[in-house]
Amino acid sequence: MNLAQKLGYPENTKLLIIHADDAGLSHSENQATIKALKNGSVNSYSIMVPCPWFFEMATFAKNNPNYDCGIHLTLTCEWENYKFGPVLPVPEVSSLTDENGHFYKSRKDFKNHAKYSEIKKELTAQIERVLQFGINPTHLDSHMYSVGITPEILELYKELGKTYNLPVFINEEFTESVRLSDEKHDFKNTLLVDNLIVGHFTDFEKGELKTSYSKALDNIQPGFNVILLHTAFDDFEMQGITVNHPNFGSAWRQIDFNYFTSSECEEKLKDNNIQLITWKQIKNLNCY
């Protein structure tokens, strides 16, 4: 039986999770994510525990357990002037940080410095902080997908999922695209997302990001699909955070919010017979 059948749908059902990353990053990100959950088609999100606005989104998650809420495991910080670091004291996980105690900007720098034992310690601490807050998370995923840079770290990611009884987000093509190791990943005995849909910078540059999302919904295939987006408002806060970083920048995130709260998106889901599912349903199946 495939995932659709396990969930009680016909074998060829087009399953879809519309997921918003980076909750907790900023007030703008939080408020847009909350509105997209309440008033749009977004049905999943994940929280960045190390970020300054974690508390606001965690409070929402605790008070609104009906929404899918994952943990956006964070080991890197890509922004130019906006910085954050580990939840643990820096001396305990110093290999994860630069000279200022912040996460490294790139996956490459992270790989070149991070010790496995300290990665495990920090990721465990992030999960534990969510649990201590009183949140019942639905899954694990990863900021900048830093967990995919080596097979060893990906196995740790999967191990944490098993330890905490949480499904983990893994798409084979996407995971291989971020790999920085000569050794290939092992995807055996792992629930995989069949098709990951993410906006492309070329479409954003051409002003065609919204159109690309619309086309993606028209072309969704049977199987387990995930649309990965970032919802925020194009305001002073997000413009400051994403300065000199148009890729997934402030304007991009406003487009994500606008499209996935639109009636056009809602109609596309209906017209294409797309069945929205949640990580919570997958977790309850215990099939991962």
Mean pLDDT, rounded, for 72-95: 98
Q: What is the pLDDT of residues 172-200, one digit of tens each?
A: 999 999 999 999 999 999 999 999 999 99
pLDDT band for 286, please (50, 70, 90 cuts).
Answer: confident
Partners of 140 in beta bridges: 71, 168
Residue 288 pLDDT greater than 80, yes or no:
no
8 Å CB contact between 42 and 19: yes
Q: What mean pLDDT comes out for the span 64-93? A: 98
Q: What are phi and psi of 10, to 5 degrees?
A: -60, 155
pLDDT at 164: 97
Q: How confident is the model at residue 226 (pLDDT cuts 50, 70, 90)?
A: very high
Q: Where residue 266 falls among pLDDT bands split at 50, 70, 90? A: very high
In the predicted model, what is the mean pLDDT of residues 262-274?
Answer: 98
What is the C-alpha separation between 120 and 44, in angstroms, rounded? 25
Q: SS3 of 98, please? A: coil
In this structure, the strands spanning 223-229 and 274-276 are unpaired
